[in-house]
Structure formats: C-alpha cells, structure tokens
Amino acid sequence: MKLQFAHQDYQKKAVDAVVKVFDGQPLAKGDFALAVQQGSVAYAGDGSIGNALKLSDEQLLANVQAVQKDNGLEPSATLAESRSDNGKEVFCPLNFTIEMETGTGKTYSFIKTMYELNKVYGFKKFVVVVPSVAIREGTMKNLQITRSHFAADYANVPCVPILYDSTKLTDLRHFAQSDALSVLVINIDSFTKDNNKINQKGEKAFAPIEYIRAVNPIVIVDEPQNFETDVRRRALFDLNPLCTLRYSATHKNPYNLLYSLNPVQAYDLGLVKQIEVDGVLADEDHNQAFVELVGIEARPASVKVKVIIDVNGKTGPKRSELTLKLGDDLYAKSKQRDVYEDGYILNEIRADDGEIEFSGGRVIRIHQAHGGLADDVMRFQIERTVAAHFSKLKNVQPIGVKVLSLFFIDKVANYRAYDEDGNATLGKFGVWFEEAFNKYASMPKYRGLIAHSASEVHNGYFSGDKKGKGVKAKTVWVDTSGTVAKDDSTYQLIMKDKERLLSADVPLQFIFSHSALREGWDNPNVFQICTLNETKSAMKKRQEIGRGLRLCVNKDGERVQDKRVNVLTVIPNESYEAFAKALQQEIEDETGVSFSGRVKNARAKARIKRKALSAEEEALFQAIWKKINYQTSYSVTLDTPALIAECVKALGDLKQYPKVRPPKIRADKAKIIMRSEGVEGLHIGTGDTDAKVYGTTVPDVYAYIQNRVHLSRSSIFAILDGSGRLGELLVNPQAFLDTAIAAMTTCLQALMVKGIKYKTINGRQYEMSLFDEELETYLSSVYPPANDDLTTPVDKTLLQAQPVDEQKAPVGDAFTCVLSESDTESQFAHDCTVDERVKFFFKLPSRFKVATPLGSYNPDWAVVLENDERVYFVAETKSTTVRANRRPAENLKIDCAREHFALANDLQFKDVTSLNELMG
C-alpha cells in the first residue's frame, strides 16, 4: 500500500500563516530574480550554506499581527519571547505557534511548510526537534512517505532528511554544507547536556553542534509543551535558530499564535473521527475486600494515606474514603467487616515509591485498586472491544478498510508473562483476548471474516520487555527511551511500517501497549481503543483518543471521508458519563472551548429503516422523487471582460485590499578585528531600513500568478494594469501579488457560478435504493427523541424517525463555529410533522449530491406542501440565511444547487431557517 495525500484547505491555511510571517523577505530566485545582497541564503567561507533573515523585528511583528487578524486571533503586542522561569534570561525571541488538533496532519503541515518556505524564500536549513524516539520515528516516516507527494507539488526539489546519530557526526557537516533543502531530525536529549557527543570538542577544539549553529536553521519543535524547562529552552537557543516554529495540539505557552485548529473545530468540520464511548463500570461488589489507594500525604511529623474501603453502615456496606496511619487495622476502620479481619493492618508506607503494604503482604500502588470486580470489568472490556472490532470490520471490509484495535494496559505482566525458564507465555489479558476472539470468530455472522487464528492477530509493543531465558533473562529498554534500538518485527511493523500494518495480508489487528504509544504514534485505521487498568486510567483522555482520531484509509491508501465509517469507539473502565465529562473538561481546560455534547454513547443507538407507507404517502413520495432524482453535469461560461472588470474593481477597493508597504529590512553593522589568536567579528549595531532602497528586478509575475490562478497572461496583464497598482510590485512584490491573487480567486469563483449551466446526464437518475439501507444513528441525533425500538414512527415521512445533522456550521476563514445545525433541523422536522399544510417530507440521503465547481453539495429536505394548490420544494435549512454570516463557498454551492433544481418542473429550491420561511 502507498498512502495517498490530498490538498486540504485547513492545512494550507496553517502553512500560509507561517509563510506570511516573512512577507518582505527576499524571495527565491525561482520566482523572483532579486539582487544578491537581498538573498535569504548565506554562503560562508567554510562551505556551510545557511539561512539569512533580512526582516526587522518591526516588520516581523507587523506581519505576525496581519496573520493573526486574518485567522481571527488575538494580535501580539510584541514578539513574545521564550524566557527562563525567573524572567531574566531571553532564550529565543522569535517563537511562532501553530495549534493543530491531533489527527489533522500536524506533521504533514510542518513538512509542507518547509517545502513552501524553501520555494518562496529559498530557506534551506531546518532542524526538527522532538521529545521522544516514538515521535522521532514518526517524523522520519512522514518525511519518507510524503516525498513523492511533495516532489510532484514542488518540481522535484531535492530534499535530504537526516536522522541524527551520535556515531555518525560527519552527517552534521553534510547537513551544513548541502545546497539542497536539508532537514535534520534530532531528539532533544541528544544535545541538552555538556557530555553529549554533539557538544564535546574534538582535537580541533570544535564541537559538532557548531555545524548546526553556523547555518542559522529554522527550528521546528514538535510537542513543545515538553520543552518548557530552562535546560531545554537553553538547548534550543544554543542551536542559533533563525526562528522557532512550535507545533502541538496542547500548547503550554502559545507564543505568537499564528493559527489555531482546536478540537471543536476539527471535530465539527469532520477532519477527525467522531467519538463514541462504550463505558464498562462494575456494580460495587461487597463480597471481597476492596482497597483503593487514593493518595499519600508525606509531612515532616507524619505520613498518612488516603484509601477507599467498604465500611459497614445502617443499611449495609458503603464505599468510603478514609485516612490511615501506620498500624491502622482495616477491620476496625470498616466497623468489623469480616473480609478485612486477616492481613489488613497497615505495616508500611513507601511514599517515594507511591505504595503501601499490609500485614498479609498485599502491596497496593497509588491509584490502584484491589478487590471488587476489577478482573470482571477488564475481561468484559476486552470482549466488548473484540465485538466492536468484528462489527466494524464487517461493515468496512467491502470498501477495503482494515480495522485495528489498541489496548492500553498498566502492567506488561498482565499481557505477557514468563515461565521459570524465561519463555514468554500469555498473561491474563492475552488469555481473555484469545477466548473472546475465538467466541466471535466462530459466530455465523462473522465466520471467515478474519482468516487468521487468535494467536496470530495480536501482539504487544512496550517500553521494556524481557529478553533471554531463565537466570539470563533481563529487561531491555527498547526505543521509547532511545537507549537501545529494538530490531524486532513487532516494533518494525508498528513504528516504521505503517503501510504494511494497514495491509489485509498482515495478520496483526489487535495491539497491546503500555505507555509507549501514547504520543508520537497513531494509525488512521485504529477504530477501537480500550483502556485496561486495575483502576481508572491515569492517562489523559486526549492522549488515549489521539491514537485513533485520524480519518481512516482504504486498501489503496486513499482517505475515506464517510462520517458513518469514521467513528472511534472508546471502551474505558468507567461509565460513558464519567468519561465524556472528563474529556470535555480536559479540552475546555486546555483550549478554553467547550466540547459539550459531541461525545456519543455507543449504547444509545437506534437502527432506522423505511417504514410501510400508506397509499397516499407512497404517491406523494413518488411524485416528488420523480421530480428531483435526475443527475446532472455542468459547464461554465466565463465572461472574460466581466472577470477583468470585477477584478479591477476589487483591487480598487483599498479597504478590502489595502496598499502594500515596503518591508523593513534588518541592517547589521560589524567590523573585523584581527588578532594573533584569530579573526573576530565585532557587532556594532542594528538598524532598520526600507527594502526598496536596495531596488529589485521585475519578478516573473505571470509564472507566480498562473501557478495559483488559472488565467491567461493577457487577462492577468489587463487586471494588474487596470488596477493602477503596478507600482506596488517594486515596493513589496510578494505582498502585492498575493493580494492580487486573493482578489482574482474570489472574483473568478463568483463568476464561474454566475455562468454555470446544468444539464441532465442521458437520463441517469438516483435509484430509490438509496433509502433502502438501514441507518444506524445515535438516539440524540434523531427527531423525535427516540427510544430503542422506535415504536411510534414519525408521520408524513419516509423513515421510522428523522435523522438530523449534528454538524456544526463553520463560518469564515477563522473556522468560527455557530450554534448546532441540529437545532434548526429538529425544529424544521417538528414543524413539518405538526403543520397540516405539509403532506410529506424527508431528508435527502447523504449520497444524493449535486456537482459544483467548489465540490459536491448535499441538500437537506424534500417537502410537499398543499394548501390551495400542491407545491414541491427542496429546502436547505441553515441557522442563518444572511450570506455575510456564512462561508463564501457555502453561499456559492447553494447558488449552484438553485441552478441544478431549476431544471425540475414545478419545483422550488429555497435556503431557509424555518418552515414558515419556506412557505413565505
């Protein structure tokens, strides 16, 4: 399999946000032949080739503020600096933050940013700094699998990725002296200490890290929340970066935030999987001794612990939290419960180790529970995960999607044990899994679905594992710590061969892991995540779900966009309500936005199918369906003179497209001092000056614009000449041309839609079988609020209940979200049900699409009204009909739909907020 990559608008926005920070920086000679002294590349006498920043801090701040305004973000008052905790030491003054939710292609975006910065400005040297080996491996893998994709986009520009290896320090010299786009990937712990090889001076009194410092690299920090210590800040600063680009979903300090795609926006736009929770929670079992260690309070005078145990009460035992000190007996504390009579005196508190020991030898760690129904819960979780896996596979196998399930466990020994000779055996999780797998694999409805045995389909990847036999067995720390490289097939498959893991020919489908895969690794086809712990998971919910949020791919490596397929099922050892509340609170605490109502209960679903229609209903359905079921193609007649006139008019609107200003260029002054011990460059001062004092040659305007907008050279000339703004090319070439391109694109799209003509395709029609498929949806997503058996079907419609769209409507380029469209749709369905003038209505299926130049469009409703006469409608329900409050692309698609439905006889198409508007 070869993974396919598409061009996503939201990723382009993230790339553009960084590129525009350097507006006014000398441009690469590929597009602009500028004077040599303005170049963005520095050539040194020792052969190193580095980046050169020419813009002043004043210009950079102005650019940052312009980007933030475009993206709907709070503008920076100053260029926020990375400082030490005491506020005295400035580390890197140019930090820029990009916030992208897990699963939306953060790594893809920063790789594309490197290519774009190289193409536009000629920057050549980039260093990607990562906090762990797992993330390092993921970055190298992404550089590899995107190479051909970016080669096609960027004219096969050479890109040389280098993985830092302390045994191959000469690679750093090659990095410094290469004239290609060069990317060094390095773990932060490789250069934080003086005794790291990279920092040690050799015989020539030269440390290898100097090769990096010499080229003034653009440093990209992946997951920067892991770098907020003085030691790591200093290490980043010591790389001598031109600037630092910070990418994460959960920033601790969002210095100069340029772009934000938060969890709510990503979720509502359908850029990640939807989330459902199949919670498993045991009833309290008072037949065993239950003890949970909540915390340890270590004070100078005494050490106490907090535990939860079962205490006898008037109406029976009750689970209660108590404080214990050494020597306390749980038999007395529980008011003489027999199950605590033997072996439950608190003998030892080991605060440093986070554990306590009772007289019977029972050791309990913090946040760990003993007793109750823990084993029963975890066994049931495994079975629910296997059941969900088989169910999902049956649904998606016809479209060529492989299904993976991921188990997080708290003890490796629970999955993989060792006998006295050191031979690996199954722990209890492994035993339970194989029992559950065999149970479901033998069911008639799943028989033959997975052509592998239970032992072949599961394996584990852990940060530490046993190696050797008997007394020679030892723990080898592999890869997550970075100390030992594990040449193990499971590691290779999970961490490096993502495409092979997605192949149906590879048996592995169920992955067990401890903490090794909690960040830096994900897989698009993880559909189930199960958290197996002897108490509630201590891992953050966002870390858990982040491993499976990415949209899935099929056997051809193509991304599947169907929201019905892209659902991540989480099987936690707690209730749906508790998990959803904790996840929502985490997201709100970290991002300041509410995630309420988005996580669904996997057990609160309904299956909706067509109901038996009366003769009158059937006649109404057939009447409107025959009017709208035609399929069309479109052609566009473009009025070139009108396009030129509109573009000239748009560019003349200085409020919408302001005049560009000359960038402020950094002017450094220095003198050379020659001494017997060597030559020294002494910095005198820095000043700012307008870039236009250097002068520029005329750029290749046509090539730059035609790469972005499909217009003829004569049309481009007419637009620019007619605008009267050609002089701005010499003031700031890139800023002016980007302004012109924005105006041309907006006008071109509007005129294409204005000149669109639809025609039916040789009698091709949508089949009525679109409605035959049984629809599974959540009870919260139907009207009326449904119960499981849907015993009271909705009147005057096609299905037993009416599904409503819970997609939030994004507005504007900043992805601002408005109220749920489901509120509007539910109200519309209710009004149709109770209004006597509505004779029949139904929601058009998702596969009913109208082709437009801006992508396919799925209208909402078909409605038959009858008062004095019968009227047929196709309605689009929106929370607003004010065009200025909707995305321009959404408005243009609605305009196209109006032209499409104009081909139908006696049919009206309207976009409305209510049934009353439809009738008006």
User: pLDDT tens digits for 598-639?
Assistant: 999 998 888 888 888 999 999 999 999 999 999 999 999 999
Amino acid identity, position 587: I
Handedness of CA 172, 174, 179, 180 (dihedral sign): negative
CATH numeric code, 15-261: 3.40.50.300
Least confident of 516-525, 717-726, 733-742, 848-857: 516-525
Q: Give the Cα separation of 816 and 808 in Å (integer).
A: 10
Handedness of CA 778, 784, 785, 789 (dihedral sign): negative
Whole-number pLDDT of residue 746 = 92
Residue whose token pair is 């020659």: 674
Total residues belonging to the chain: 920
Name the more confident of 468 and 312.
Answer: 312
Reduce the DSSP state of residue 805 to 3 states and report it. Answer: coil
Least confident of 263-267, 398-402, 747-751, 802-806: 802-806
Q: Could you tell me if 392 and 528 are in contact, meaning their C-beta atoms sit under 8 angstroms apart?
A: yes
Q: Give the Cα separation of 797 and 829 in Å (integer).
A: 10
Nearest to 860 by CA among 633, 631, 628, 635: 628
* Contacts for 632 with CB less than 8 Å, ≥ 6 apart: 758, 759, 760, 761, 850, 851, 900, 903
Whole-number pLDDT of residue 486 = 40
Q: Give the Cα separation of 249 and 872 in Å (integer).
A: 47
Name the more confident of 167 and 492.
Answer: 167
* Contacts for 824 with CB less than 8 Å, ≥ 6 apart: 877, 878, 879, 913, 914
Q: Give the Cα separation of 247 and 221 in Å (integer).
A: 6
752 has pLDDT over 70: yes
86 has pLDDT over 90: no
Q: What angle do CA 339, 343, 347 make, to 5 degrees?
A: 135
435 has pLDDT over 80: yes
Nearest to 343 by CA among 369, 372, 364: 364
DSSP bridge pairs for 910: 875
Helix, strand, coil: what percent of the chain each, to 5? 35, 25, 40
Name the more confident of 367 and 459.
Answer: 459
Whole-number pLDDT of residue 534 = 57
Structure tokens at 642: 């009108």
Query: How sure is the predictor about 771, in pLDDT bands with cuts at 50, 70 and 90?
Result: confident
Q: Give the Cα separation of 265 and 275 in Å (integer).
A: 14
499 has pLDDT over 80: yes
Least confident of 135-144, 330-339, 411-420: 411-420
Task: State pLDDT tens for residues 224-256.
Answer: 998 988 899 999 999 999 999 999 988 888 999
Q: Could you tell me if 212 and 242 are in contact, meaning their C-beta atoms sit under 8 angstroms apart?
A: no
Reduce the DSSP state of residue 144 to 3 states and report it. Answer: helix
Q: Give the Cα separation of 894 and 882 in Å (integer).
A: 13
Least confident of 173-187, 415-429, 835-849: 415-429
Helix H or strand E encompassing 629 = none
132 has pLDDT over 90: no
C-alpha distances (whole Å) from 267 to each of 477, 776, 807 are: 37, 20, 9
Whole-number pLDDT of residue 480 = 37
For residue 467, the 8-state DSSP code is E
Reduce the DSSP state of residue 584 to 3 states and report it. Answer: helix
Q: Which of 66-75, 409-418, 804-813 has the highest average model confidence (pLDDT)?
A: 66-75
Name the more confident of 467 and 754.
Answer: 754
Amino acid identity, position 864: V
DSSP bridge pairs for 518: none
Structure tokens at 708: 């972005």
857 has pLDDT over 70: yes
Handedness of CA 745, 748, 752, 753 (dihedral sign): positive
Distance, first Cα to last Cα, the chain: 54
Name the more confident of 276 and 880.
Answer: 276
Bridge pairing between strands 95-100 and 257-261: parallel
Q: Give the Cα separation of 182 and 162 in Å (integer).
A: 8
Whole-number pLDDT of residue 289 = 85
735 has pLDDT over 90: no
Whole-number pLDDT of residue 316 = 83
C-alpha distances (whole Å) from 509 to each of 388, 484, 547, 712 are: 13, 26, 15, 52
Residue whose token pair is 């056997």: 555
CA neighbours within 13 Å on the CB side: how many for 81?
Answer: 13
Q: Give the Cα separation of 26 and 843 in Å (integer).
A: 54
Query: How sure is the predictor about 286, in pLDDT bands with cuts at 50, 70 and 90?
Result: low
Task: State pLDDT tens for residues 625-676.
Answer: 999 999 999 999 999 999 999 999 999 999 999 998 888 876 554 444 444 4
Q: State mean pLDDT over 403-407.
A: 96
H, E, C per residue of 330-355: HHHHCCCCHHHCCCCEEEEEECCCCE
Q: Could you tell me if 406 and 528 are in contact, meaning their C-beta atoms sit under 8 angstroms apart?
A: yes
Query: How sure is the predictor about 487, in pLDDT bands with cuts at 50, 70 and 90?
Result: very low
Whole-number pLDDT of residue 84 = 59
Q: State mean pLDDT over 732-755.
A: 91
Q: Could you tell me if 143 and 185 are in contact, meaning their C-beta atoms sit under 8 angstroms apart?
A: yes
Whole-number pLDDT of residue 881 = 86
Nearest to 841 by CA among 778, 896, 919: 919
Least confident of 53-62, 492-501, 583-592, 738-747: 492-501
Query: How sure is the predictor about 92, in pLDDT bands with cuts at 50, 70 and 90?
Result: low
753 has pLDDT over 50: yes
Hey, do 15-261 and 374-603 end up sharing a CATH topology, with the first three levels equal?
yes
Structure tokens at 78: 């100053």
429 phi/psi in degrees, rounded to 5: -65, -40
C-alpha distances (whole Å) from 410 to each of 242, 512, 796 are: 42, 10, 53
Nearest to 107 by CA among 249, 291, 296: 249
712 phi/psi in degrees, rounded to 5: -75, 160
Q: Which of 422-436, 700-714, 813-827 has the highest average model confidence (pLDDT)?
A: 422-436
Task: State pLDDT tens for residues 160-174.
Answer: 999 999 999 999 999
Whole-number pLDDT of residue 348 = 93
Q: Domain segments of the chain: what residues? A: 15-261, 291-370, 374-603, 615-634+759-919, 638-752
910 has pLDDT over 60: yes
Name the more confident of 132 and 93.
Answer: 132
DSSP string, 728-774: GGTT-HHHHHHHHHHHHHHHHHHHHHHTEEEEEEEEEE--GGGGTS-
How far is residue 594 CA from its own chain's centroid? 17
Q: Give the Cα separation of 878 and 809 in Å (integer).
A: 9
Q: State mean pLDDT over 512-521.
A: 70
Nearest to 402 by CA among 557, 562, 602: 557
The mean of the pLDDT values for the chain is 85
Domain at 374-603: CATH architecture: 3-Layer(aba) Sandwich (3.40)
Catalogue the long-range contacts made by 711-718 (C-beta closer than 8 Å, 24 or more residues apart).
Answer: 711/744, 711/748, 715/640, 715/643, 715/644, 718/644, 718/648
Q: Give the Cα separation of 373 and 127 in Å (integer).
A: 50
Q: State mean pLDDT over 761-782.
A: 86
* Contacts for 651 with CB less than 8 Å, ≥ 6 apart: 657, 719, 723, 725, 739, 740, 743
How far is residue 53 CA from its own chain's centroid? 31
Query: How sure is the predictor about 198, in pLDDT bands with cuts at 50, 70 and 90?
Result: very high
Q: State mean pLDDT over 483-492.
A: 49
Q: Give the Cα separation of 775 and 605 in Å (integer).
A: 10
685 phi/psi in degrees, rounded to 5: 180, 170
Amino acid identity, position 116: E
Least confident of 6-10, 572-576, 861-865: 572-576
Q: What percent of the chain has pLDDT over 90?
A: 52
Whole-number pLDDT of residue 216 = 95
C-alpha distances (whole Å) from 332 to each of 328, 337, 338 are: 8, 8, 10
DSSP string, 277-300: E----PPP--SS--EEEEEEEE-S
| Residue ranges in 756-887 assigned as alpha helix (H) | 821-834
Q: Could you tell me if 85 and 123 are in contact, meaning their C-beta atoms sit under 8 angstroms apart?
A: no
539 has pLDDT over 50: yes
- Secondary structure E strands in 443-525: 458-461, 464-467, 474-477, 510-513
